[in-house]
Amino acid sequence: MNPEVLEIRAGSTIARIAPGQGFNCYSLVVDGFDYLHQETGFLPDGSPTHSGTPILFPWPNRIAASTFEWQGKTYHVPVTEQATGASLHGFACRTPWPVIDQSDDSVTGEWILSRDAPAMAANWPADVGLRVTYRVEPTALIVTSEVFCPGDEPVPFGLGFHPYFRVPGPFDQWLLHTDATKAWTLDTMIPTGEVVDVPTRLDFGKPRRIGDEHLDDVLTGLPAADAMCRRAVLMSMAASLAVSSDPQWREYVFFTPTSRDALAIEPYTCTTDAINLQQHGKDAGLRVVAPGAQQSFVWRIDIA
């Protein structure tokens, strides 16, 4: 096995993680089929956001114009999407992660901004850290995240994951189901602040084929829950893949890459550009963690 890859397993379920590629869980094999898509060349030095399960932190998706204000100070983050001038998906997916614990069926990595991306530390209001644990059960992957503040100033954050899923069978036969009832209105991929009833093209309240639809949308309005709850299912004639999350994951992004060989079902704790929307009085889901405190989040994948 590639020495840059860690492997955890339970029965016929095997997950492979690349700590050097943003602690990306890039492969989830159940009974011989890999339910995660990998772009050619991902290992050893491919794109950190086009394969597996990229970790989006300390913000998911885009920051408009790569600029935001926090407590009266203006911050600039690197432009990573030239077409829109936005900055995509944070810092954590772009650097190696130290592994701090491992067993046969689980592995934990820890990322701290000041330590693991020191060149970016001045681009965020304060130091922030994230621990992620991947654990496998037969036919399941459980992902637990702990966001913490290692410094002496409260720090804003958003957390997301960007898993590229596949199921057996051709893409044009895949069915999608989600119980999201609302959508953020977007302008150049940035929420305007308006939330509307989910439009017909995004209504997967009953399972239906994705068809020719290009998805790159932020859905919300998830039914209330007080525990882990199934939020989306991708299925074919041969298998189904369910994504569940605790109630703190309030948005889901659905994205079809142009290759149309995967579907990203992305749990987020906040919407796109939350750090700017929040400054304009919108309930965008931006979170703040206090010094010495931590906040925990769990989501999972189940194969049937």
Express the helix, strand and coil content of the chain in percent, nearest 5 each: 10, 45, 45
On the question of a cis peptide bond just before residue 58, with omega within 30 degrees of 0, the verdict is yes
- What does the pLDDT read at residue 56? 98
pLDDT in tens, 115-169: 999 999 999 999 999 999 999 999 999 999 999 999 999 999 999 999 999 999 9
Residue holding tokens 């995509």? 88
Using pLDDT thresholds of 50, 70 and 90, give the confidence band for residue 44.
confident
pTM of the model: 0.97
Here the tokens at position 207 are 């399972």
Contact call for residues 194 and 185 (beta carbons, < 8 A)? yes
Using pLDDT thresholds of 50, 70 and 90, give the confidence band for residue 2.
low
Here the tokens at position 35 are 């339910």
Distance CA 178, CA 36 (A): 19
Distances, alpha carbon 181 to alpha carbons 41, 122, 216, 253, in Å: 37, 38, 16, 13
Using pLDDT thresholds of 50, 70 and 90, give the confidence band for residue 1.
very low
Instruction: Encode burial over 102-135: b for 16+ CB neighbours within 10 A, e otherwise.
Output: beebbbbbbbbbbebbeebbeebbbbbbbbbbbb
User: Which residues are 143's β-sheet partners?
Assistant: 134, 299
Average pLDDT over residues 224-233: 96
CB atoms within 10 A of CB 214: 12
**Rg of the Cα trace of the chain?**
18
- Asked if pLDDT for residue 28 goes beyond 50, the answer is yes
Average pLDDT over residues 232-254: 98
- Asked if pLDDT for residue 72 goes beyond 70, the answer is yes
Closest by CA to 3, choosing from 19, 14, 27, is: 19
- What does the pLDDT read at residue 4? 86
- Asked if pLDDT for residue 3 goes beyond 80, the answer is no
Domains of the chain (ranges, CATH numbers): 6-303 (2.70.98.10)
Average pLDDT over residues 73-100: 96
